[in-house]
Structure 1
Amino acid sequence: MLHSPSESGFPNTRLRRLRYHAGLRALVRETTLSPANLILPLFVRPGKNIRQPIASMPGQFQLSLDQLAIEAKEAQSLGIAGVILFGIPAEKDVAGSDSYCDTGIVQQAVKVVKEAAPGLLVVTDVCFCEYTSHGHCGVLEERNGVQDVANDPTLEMLGKQAVSHARAGADLVAPSGMMDGMVGAIRYALDHAGFTHLPLMSYAAKYSSAFYGPFRDAAESAPQFGDRRTYQMDPAAAAGQALREVELDLREGADLIMVKPALAYLDIIRDVRENFPGVPLAAYNVSGEYSLVKAAAANGWVDERTLALEMLTAIRRAGASIILTYWAKDVARWLQ
């Protein structure tokens, strides 16, 4: 039955006309997802022929260097932009010394990936939690009978770590510890070591989130006491604090910035994008977001492929130009 046009324009205006054909839907789509937008996180440990499943993250593994080379070649063949490396050292100590050793596990991993997949962007996480015996992100100090991370003494160590990654051949360093002044300290250390060309991607707005649980299993980085609320952002902190963090990091020399986690913080991604429109913006689709979908899919409650693609598209739609995600290889295959 035909109707006369209403104030809204119906029936002359019918937005379903843009949806009736798959080709047309693709043609008018405003948000796209591509392997070229994605960075694959990888966990590396000493040994040979190790591909140790991570129980809380089905489909993810702790890899020895020989297995890492295989993963890197596959990621490159799938058109994924890059990998970010997290190291699990043979031994941990209070200073996290393996993190800045030229023969440390991540330094070795960088060289392996560069040789195996020279076209792949190699990003390194610059932090201490995977390397310290206490599981915190820097040098400890005691205040009022409570141990916490000492901000300023940690900065020099972060610079030392970043320089060791640069010497190994990293293409991009990514400090994640949320220490005040970390970007400036790392930029100074890199520049004075002759790495003025090396870009820096700061975890500028990293929240103290329960979504990190599975990652701490994967990286064996759970704090041995307390938590990280004194340095990571409060989940109840809105855009004002996040925007201050981003602005400070950019002033200190960050070239790219990141929001972490992604899915529960789409509002923060949007606010950062709107306030810093010309800055490359990454978002980390973290382990808990991945594992929740994996668990539901294993029970037949959701379709993993459809839901994962929808989630990642939402992160892109919110404003992230780069997504770090454990689904990177799957997405590359799904989109072929």
Structure 2
Amino acid sequence: MNAIPTADNHRSLPLIGVTMGDGAGIGPEVIIPALLHPDTLARCRPVVIGDAGRLRQAAVVLGAACDIVSVTTPGEAEFPPGRVNVVDLDLLPADLPWGELSALAGEAAYQYVRVAADLAMKGAVHGICTAPLNKEALHSAGHLYPGHTELLAHLTGVDEVSMMLSTPKVKVIHVTTHIGLIDAVRRIEPGLVERTVRRGHDAMVRAGVAKPVIGVCGINPHAGENGLFGYGEEEEKIAPALDVLRADGIDARGPLPADTAFFLAGRGDYDLIVAMYHDQGHGPVKVLGIEAGVNLTVGLPVIRTSVDHGTAFDIAGKGVAEAGSMVEAVRQAAEMSSVPVR
């Protein structure tokens, strides 16, 4: 466990904006223990963008002895033990029920992300870590984004980003995410595969893996097995991208049968797996390490990490949510924010 830095040294650590997510979910309950954790304070200066009142309610639920202190800007925050700093948008009513879908909470969750993105683009924070929002609540508030990934791309003016899931055993980047399977197969093409692999490669280098070995999944069972399954999608949509990448010195291998690629990654053969569609990547990750899983948006002009779990309305407000994924998400935001792009 890392020692908490002195006041002088602490000022050199990255400022991480932590969005509170959907206030009716477990976000406030996982944020408080994560931000009070000694490892967090040893690595960064975390500041919540959310509602101070809701965080105080969560502290009561948790029985946590801490000071929830409102600040106007992240730069004003101080970090003595037991203090949680929050840029307080004050958007939620005091009687907001735990664990219930709410357009008010959806609107607030959107505003937390909007403010955090603005702060990051201005350099007021060095990275963003997001607690989970609820897509239905977000949509009911009139913000029709599939999730954080697409919302942050819009807010930062980026046309194309990738979702990466990181666990202690395996890391996965997705060529397509929140679209139907038929649409995903149609959308996959060599240019998109190439750009996705490059984003994953750059993210791994930034995280300290100098020469990442990247396994690229096929689309069909057994990666098509030489035309036995599918209609030649691997040769048409994936193989040309791998030829270009390898010519540029990127160690991208495949197309691989997805059912074995994750096993090989889990034992250490690959630093990163490229999944072609949502469930191809999410399923294995959630089996191999959801408790410590982190979601990264790759390709943004700012660092963004998130927990790899949802709002968990069924346990919200009960003080039983596990904060390990939030601790890890803040850690990775701090780590990537403090390492210069090579």
Q: TM-score range by the shorter chain?
A: under 0.3
Alignment TM-score, normalising by the size of structure 1: 0.28
Higher relative contact order (CA 8 A, sep 6+): 2
TM-score (norm 2): 0.27
